[in-house]
Amino acid sequence: MGLWPIVRKHRMLSGLAAALAISLVVCLAAGLDVFHGVRTLLSDQLFKAAAVQRDTPAAGDIVIVAIDDHSLTELGEFSSWPRTYHASLVDDLKADGARLIVFDILFSETTPSDGALAAAIAEAGNVILPYGYSRVTYGTTAAGRSISLEDRIEPCDTLKEPALTLGHAVMLPDEDGIVRRVPLYLGSGEAPQPSLALASVASYLRRPQVTDGPIANGTVPLAGRSIPVDAYGNMLINYGDEVEGLTRFTEVSYSDVLAGTAGPEVFRGKIVLIGVTATGLGDTFWTPLGEVMRGVELHAAAMETVLTARFLHPVPMWGDLLVIVFLALLAGTFVQKLRIPWAIAAAAGLVIVYLVTAGVGFHQGVMMDLLFPPLAVAAAGAAVNVMQVVCERAEKRDITQTFGRYVSPEIAGKILTAQRQDALDLQGVSRDITALYVDARHYTGLMESNAPETVFRSLDLYMKAMIAAIQHHGGIINKFTGDGLLAIWNAPVEEDDHAARAVRAALTCQRAVREVRESGAVGLAMEFGIGVMTGVAYVGTIGTRDRMEYSVFGDVVNTASRLSNEAPGNRVWTSQETYRRVNGRFALEKVGEKMLKGRHQPLAVYEVRENGEGVNIP
């Protein structure tokens, strides 16, 4: 047996197999990170949705001293500021009780006023300085991606020496220019380089080391926290409720601090970040929120993520793959169990439930993939639907090949439904049926005395009328016998009251023949005898795949044929079994005991009259 017959016979399993195959393709695409850009942009929607819905306040441990437009107006161009300004700022912040002072300003060049700033840093004892690189890029090697660091730029020695510690201030935007993560560590080996955010939080929490241990299992241990990082040491930044470019952190103008207009309560016990926010000085980055943020704000957001432990945990790859397979199988089941509109609605509902779950999960710190699971639902649903359509077309083609054009649309629909439900056995089965045989009277004589085409055209008109009558009453034209035909009821699909249906059809056939004869549309006036017999027969297909026929075997068919041969023209004869099933609903008159050809015992024969229920049959 070929593959296609198996597919059609086991439609449900085949559909699930197709959905599974689609899910494996989607899993492969997810594993290879195909459509990376689309995937990350969709993930950004989680940040935007959270920014609209969440009202969680900032931790309150971080204050930004902004070198803003107001400060430039008060103090002049930033490039001309002497470092005595910064020295005064450090002194003021220390006096106001700042717990940690973090500069997001790179003091790489020496200036005449470095001594004052160095003295202030040494006196404060809680100042962290940044360093950077002239170039930081991602590279691709045979082993995968790597980070290339070139020309480390540190603070000048005068300022570096008294600083509490250093941290790199590197931000690595993704390929689309959006900053979604911060490298907590750069480099590798025994001395990885911590970020400004990580070094600051460790100092703020008074940890003796930047971390409590090495990176293990994708996490960085720090003060009871397990910070999730990727293979390159990057942590996803939880931007919280940053909306429309406005930071949630308390922000004080640099010039106001120097002027003493900012109260000491603002800085007491806090991490104070000092950085540029003024227009035109650069240091701006796009975020997943669709808004631009300053570098100092990004460092603050990274610090807060660690301080509050509101980490974002991407679902591991194996989890994504399981979800993809599960949703694809579920979508395939919907398509096979429901009608197309309901299946589409169910699949859409499945995607909506998943997206809502992703939104809820994001609030709990779980980042779910918004691309491949919904894609698996759509692709699996479409694939299984296509397979369903192809199977149904093949079934219709087989039905047409087996039953020809001689079944009513109603019966054809029943056959197709039975086949879809695996309740149709065309290979052979014993079945209680009713057979109707039609035989032309005096056919041999008509052929002798008339041209063949005249007989053919007349017979064709009569047959068309009888076929329509039989189909109207649910019968299936099984075969033509030259001058007659055989129709059956209750096979291949079961029908209620099949004996009565066949009797009605027989009466309607005789009426249709009479109407055709009286219409004058035919060249020959023909009459037909009809035999109706009910009993058990063996029904099924016979022949090859290319040429097969649905055949009926048994005494019931032979007896119906004999009755049609014996019945006078324009008469319907039936047997004892059919009489028993329809008596009281039709006008039946016993003809007598008939010894039919080929039978060893006489048969009680009844004639169905055109009155009673039979007269009212349309």
Give backbone dihedrals phi and psi of 565, rounded to 5 degrees, phi first: -70, -35
Residue type at 362? F
pLDDT of 63: 94
Q: Give the largest CA-CA distance in the chain.
A: 135
Same domain for 99 and 161, yes or no, is yes
564: in domain: yes
Same domain for 228 and 371, yes or no, is no
* Number of neighbours of residue 412 by Cβ within 10 angstroms: 18
DSSP tag of 568? P
Pairing state between β 62-67 and 250-253: parallel
250: in domain: yes
Task: Provide mean pLDDT across the span 96-117.
Answer: 93
Same domain for 531 and 551, yes or no, is yes
Task: Provide mean pLDDT across the span 422-433.
Answer: 70
Task: Provide mean pLDDT across the span 22-47.
Answer: 86
Residue type at 572? V
pLDDT band at 120, cuts 50/70/90?
very high
Give the range of the structural domain holding residue 554, as residue numbers without chain letter.
407-616
| 417: its two tokens | 């439904």
pLDDT band at 280, cuts 50/70/90?
confident
DSSP H or E segment with residue 221? strand 219-222
Q: Assess whether pLDDT exceeds 80 at residue 595.
A: yes
pLDDT of 197: 93
293 closest CA partner among 64, 554, 615, 25: 64
Across the strands, what pairs with 194? 185
Round to whole Å and give the CA distance between 89 and 106: 16
423 vs 306: which has the higher pLDDT: 306
Same domain for 281 and 258, yes or no, is yes
pLDDT band at 373, cuts 50/70/90?
very high
| 452: its two tokens | 């063949």
Same domain for 37 and 112, yes or no, is no
Give backbone dihedrals phi and psi of 294, rounded to 5 degrees, phi first: -80, 155
Q: Is the dihedral of CA 208, 234, 66, 158 positive or negative?
A: positive
Round to whole Å and give the CA distance between 157 and 251: 30
Cite the beta strand spans of 61-187 per DSSP E. 62-67, 100-103, 127-141, 144-153, 165-168, 181-183, 185-186
* Cβ proximity of 487 and 475 under 8 Å: yes
Same domain for 422 and 384, yes or no, is no
Residue 401's contacts (CB-CB under 8 Å, 6 or more residues apart) are 548
Q: Assess whether pLDDT exceeds 90 at residue 423.
A: no
Among 394, 426, 443, the domain-final residue is 394
Round to whole Å and give the CA distance between 218 and 209: 19
Same domain for 302 and 320, yes or no, is no
172: in domain: yes
Across the strands, what pairs with 137? 148
Q: Considering only CA atoms, give the Rg of the chain.
A: 44
* Cβ proximity of 276 and 296 under 8 Å: yes
Round to whole Å and give the CA distance between 202 and 220: 12
Task: Provide mean pLDDT across the span 380-405.
Answer: 67
Q: Give the mean pLDDT of the chain.
A: 83
Among 255, 281, 309, the domain-final residue is 309
Peptide bond into 492 cis (omega under 30): yes
168 vs 33: which has the higher pLDDT: 168
576: in domain: yes
447 vs 273: which has the higher pLDDT: 273
Give the Å distances, CA to CA, from 271 to 88, 128, 256, 277. Answer: 18, 11, 18, 18
Across the strands, what pairs with 537? 431
* Cβ proximity of 530 and 506 under 8 Å: yes
Same domain for 114 and 91, yes or no, is yes
pLDDT of 500: 94
Task: Provide mean pLDDT across the span 200-204.
Answer: 92
Same domain for 141 and 239, yes or no, is yes
- Lowest-pLDDT choice from 1-5, 211-215, 282-286: 1-5
pLDDT tens figures, 301-355: 999 999 888 888 888 889 999 999 999 888 888 887 877 788 888 889 999 999 9
580: in domain: yes
Same domain for 78 and 141, yes or no, is yes
Same domain for 91 and 126, yes or no, is yes
Residue 486's contacts (CB-CB under 8 Å, 6 or more residues apart) are 435, 436, 437, 438, 477, 478, 479, 480, 552, 557, 560, 561
Same domain for 292 and 331, yes or no, is no
pLDDT of 291: 84
Among 370, 394, 418, the domain-final residue is 394
Task: Provide mean pLDDT across the span 181-201.
Answer: 82
Domain count along the chain:
3
Buried b (16+ CB within 10 A) or exposed e, 472-502: bbbbbbbbeeebbbbbbbbbbbebebbbbbb
Q: Assess whether pLDDT exceeds 90 at residue 562.
A: yes
Residue type at 581? R
pLDDT of 613: 43
402: in domain: no
Task: Provide mean pLDDT across the span 20-47.
Answer: 86
399: in domain: no
401: in domain: no
269 vs 479: which has the higher pLDDT: 269
pLDDT above 70 covers a percentage of the chain that reads 83
pLDDT of 552: 85
Give backbone dihedrals phi and psi of 291, rounded to 5 degrees, phi first: -125, 155
333 vs 546: which has the higher pLDDT: 333
Q: Assess whether pLDDT exceeds 90 at residue 20.
A: no
pLDDT of 48: 79
Q: Where would I find the H helices in 309-407?
A: 317-337, 340-363, 372-403
